[in-house]
Amino acid sequence: MPTYEYECQSCHERLEAVQSFSDAPLSVCPACGGVLRKVYSAVGIVFKGGGFYKTDARSSSSAAVPASDASATSTPATPATPTTTSSAATGD
């Protein structure tokens, strides 16, 4: 169940409440009886398991070869051979 944070509009006291999604939001401050308002803030994220870091997804063989060395060992593309026409074929 999510935890919601509320702030009183009168006394500015903050409180947290663990509520279900179907529960009605709190509306009365328990300290002074004023009106409560939901406070929205950043959510904390916890990553569990492997694969979240740059080093987790690499195998040991690919991590050992830097990218600059890998491009040096690749074979260059061979240029296409130009076709020449002889003067006998053209009728000159």
Residue 16 has pLDDT above 70, yes or no: yes
Could you read off the pLDDT of 25-57 as tens digits, one per residue? Answer: 999 999 999 999 999 988 778 777 766 666 665
At residue 25's C-alpha, the angle toward residues 14 and 37, to 5°, is 40
pTM above 0.85, yes or no: no
Q: CA-to-CA distance for 58 and 51, rounded, in angstroms?
A: 9
Domain residue ranges in the chain: 3-39
pLDDT-derived band of residue 12, with 50, 70 and 90 as boundaries?
A: very high
